[in-house]
Chain A
């Protein structure tokens, strides 16, 4: 346990010095304030001044989904950037053969941030949810968002050879999040092209509120982790 804590402390110190930790904490709060208070103001402004009805009520669940995913995404993205830098500078190989080990490295770089952002995500949704989600749904959305972001980060690190490839992949990995707006804009029969992505099932769970949708949401999340972990393990073995 001690090597894990030391490694995690080092990671937190690094993103603290980069000011990234401050940004990770601040920007979801700003987004929450905007979604909760800015959007109703914007709707009123459009209606009163421009005589144009924006009618964003139907998208309040989508705003909540985005808010729920924001903190875990940012935290995991920051840790992916740290991991890619450590890999390029050949620190990862050394860390993996210390008492920390490969699994400890993954846990302290991605597991702990995802775990911590679960609580942050719950708190954000409780305070700023514009669709007034019930607590059980907030917990599920926060948990599934953390799992999704853990997957995205694992994918970025496992499949990229260096930070340049990592950043290119990060841009492409945004497509994995396309499942979130899909139930709001894409017809049902086309939505299922996005079925392999956990994001679609998270959004459907939030929209339809049927607990049965939790099964594909968790399963798609876990199915992604297994091959990616193997790839991650293989990558660290070659360091």
Chain B
């Protein structure tokens, strides 16, 4: 019941502050771009668009969400409520993953991406949760938006570059230990989809626990004292 309330609260928050509106516009825009692309480029560019925007939205927005909650003293209230850190983290991840996955699927379907929709859904969901976990870890430590945005840049480079390289033909087998590469392997329907899927899932769970540890520490120290 508490989880349901938190999740609903996050969805309403994101709706109120225009996330749904924003991603409706961006999805239409990306579909428009995808349709105008030549068939030979379309698959790769669509995968690139999905991976760098809807899937990664948590990394971009989490800073604003958490810093806003800090300034509105929402976290202070949550810290003394029965809400557990895991519920807070899962609620954030699920609510953003819903937007990411829906937008990514809409772009993939409308642009005719030749991919298994079930595996794409699961990998989009995992990627979104992974990026949101990165966002949560950074946001918990950040004090200003500028600092948050700067801190996300190394993460973006680390996750995006090998993945983009893999998409455009740089494909060493050991690259599959990288979460971004795994997402690409699933989207490209390569020969190692089950392995890639397992590794992506593993990274997602690992960073979920990292995020949980960081959020637990943050909630225990809001207001300047250790609870």
Chain A residues proximal to chain B, CB less than 8 Å: 14-15, 18-20, 23, 78, 81-82, 84-85, 88-89, 161-169, 171-172, 175
| Main secondary structure on A side of the interface with B | helix
A residues in contact with B19, CB < 8 Å: 168
| Main secondary structure on B side of the interface with A | helix
Cβ contact of B145, chosen from A81, A168, A171, A172, cutoff 8 A: A81
Task: Check A15/B65 contact, CB under 8 A, given A162-B17, A167-B60.
Answer: no
Question: Which of A18, A161, A166, A172 is the most central at the interface, judged by chain B CB atoms within 10 Å of its CB?
Answer: A18
Question: Which of B29, B63, B146, B149 is the most central at the interface, judged by chain A CB atoms within 10 Å of its CB?
Answer: B146
Question: Closest CB of chain A to B30's CB: distance in Å?
Answer: 12
B residues in contact with A161, CB < 8 Å: 17
Question: Which of A19, A23, A164, A165 is the most central at the interface, judged by chain B CB atoms within 10 Å of its CB?
Answer: A164
A residues in contact with B209, CB < 8 Å: none
Contact of B68 with A23 in the complex, beta carbons under 8 Å: no
Cβ contact of A18, chosen from B18, B29, B68, B146, cutoff 8 A: B146
Contact of B71 with A172 in the complex, beta carbons under 8 Å: no
Contact of B68 with A163 in the complex, beta carbons under 8 Å: yes
Contact of A171 with B22 in the complex, beta carbons under 8 Å: yes
Q: Looking across the interface, which residue of chain A has its beta carbon closest to that of B149?
A: A81
Contact of A165 with B145 in the complex, beta carbons under 8 Å: no
A residues in contact with B149, CB < 8 Å: 20, 81
Contact of A15 with B22 in the complex, beta carbons under 8 Å: no
Interface presence of B116 (CB below 8 A)? no
Residues of B in contact, count (CB < 8 Å): 24
Contact of A164 with B64 in the complex, beta carbons under 8 Å: yes
Given A18-B146, A19-B150: 13 more A-B contacts, CB < 8 Å: A18-B144, A20-B149, A20-B150, A81-B146, A82-B144, A88-B71, A162-B17, A163-B64, A163-B67, A163-B68, A164-B13, A167-B60, A172-B25
Contact of B18 with A168 in the complex, beta carbons under 8 Å: yes
Contact of B64 with A172 in the complex, beta carbons under 8 Å: no
B residues in contact with A89, CB < 8 Å: 71
How far apart sit A15 and B147, CA to CA, in the bound complex (Å)?
9
Contact of A166 with B64 in the complex, beta carbons under 8 Å: yes
B residues in contact with A166, CB < 8 Å: 64
Would you give the 0/1 interface string for B90-124, flagging 1 where the beta carbon is closer than 8 Å to chain A?
A: 00000000000000000000000000000000000
Contact of B22 with A168 in the complex, beta carbons under 8 Å: yes
Question: Closest CB of chain B to A183's CB: distance in Å?
Answer: 16
Query: Which 9 pairs from chain A and chain B are nearest by CB?
Result: A81-B145, A167-B64, A18-B146, A20-B146, A164-B17, A164-B64, A168-B18, A18-B147, A168-B22
A residues in contact with B22, CB < 8 Å: 168, 171-172
Q: Looking across the interface, which residue of chain A has its beta carbon closest to that of B61?
A: A167
How far apart sit A175 and B26, CA to CA, in the bound complex (Å)?
9
Contact of B29 with A164 in the complex, beta carbons under 8 Å: no
How far apart sit A78 and B148, CA to CA, in the bound complex (Å)?
11
How far apart sit A23 and B152, CA to CA, in the bound complex (Å)?
13
Q: Looking across the interface, which residue of chain A has its beta carbon closest to that of B63?
A: A167
Contact of B146 with A162 in the complex, beta carbons under 8 Å: no
Contact of B147 with A19 in the complex, beta carbons under 8 Å: yes
Question: Closest CB of chain B to A81's CB: distance in Å?
Answer: 4
Q: 7 A-B contacts, Cβ less than 8 Å apart? A: A18-B147, A82-B146, A163-B64, A164-B61, A166-B64, A167-B64, A169-B18
